Structure 1
Amino acid sequence: MNRSGPDLALLLLAGFRVLVDEAITGLAELGHDNVRPVHDFALRAIANGAESASELGRSLSITKQSAARTIAVLQERGYVMSGPDPRDARRKRLQVTALGFDALHKGEAILDARRRRWAEQIGHERLEALEDELAALVGEQPVRFDAAGWMARDLAT
């Protein structure tokens, strides 16, 4: 089969989409019917130290205003809370709540189950080889949190 570069990009995107769609559907069935992919990026960034709208914006490569809107939605839905910063009483600090971590962990379990089904479908060795080859091509580092902002940037140009 003779595929092009765009074909490869679309296959990789389709694989990502299958995983994300299944996670969103599965999370809804488990009681997290209001979690979206951008929320996962934001929750992970906050869990990894983005404690303010400015820091979240930088982590996700989005504006401070977009980060503030995302934070407001996550707070309203109970996934994030804002509490006093022990280092500076004038400052509020973002934290992922138990509900937020529950959504993250359940999403991870759904993705792990999909990976197991793919391994059964094409074989464990072939899936591991595919993962090894992709890691060799793109590098071992995980996708950065700013992927959501990267995908949306430059839309006005």
Structure 2
Amino acid sequence: MNDIQRYLSLEMTLKPETIDIAGLIEDVCAEPTLAPLKHSGTLNIMTPMPDIKADARQLRMIFHVLLHNAWQYRRPDKPLQVRLSAVTIGDNVRFRIDDNGMGISPEYRPQVLEMFTRLVPHNERYPGTGMGLALVVKALRNLDSQLDIQDGIDGGTAVLFDLPLAR
């Protein structure tokens, strides 16, 4: 499925269910496109990861895009570090994915959330359509959340979003 089809498919009816986040992330990391992250980078999943209530298909896509972006936009001179944490705040869980990659300057953060936006030229090292974060934003909107971009590890990127705690 291409990115435009994926974007349009996010209009489908949501099927909220209780999701084991640790299991979902393990499944996402086992996908072939994320295999390099496990073999040449460090992914630290801070525990515990509370269960949440969300649409599994959209949540899987969110984590896949964010982890894939961490891998794709890593610095070539440093081993990749990715840290995933979750904190319960009231009835929600705040997820934070930090990396030590190239980072996104504050002035470009609103822009990268738009469709077809790329901050680096399209080439063999940086393939893609510029729709990844737009897909994440749309999926999070469907889940009544939003994406916040901050500074990550050593000038990398941190992305944060809240989702409802499973009760």
Normalising by structure 1, what TM-score? 0.28
Q: Which structure features the higher share of strand residues?
A: 2
Normalising by structure 2, what TM-score? 0.27
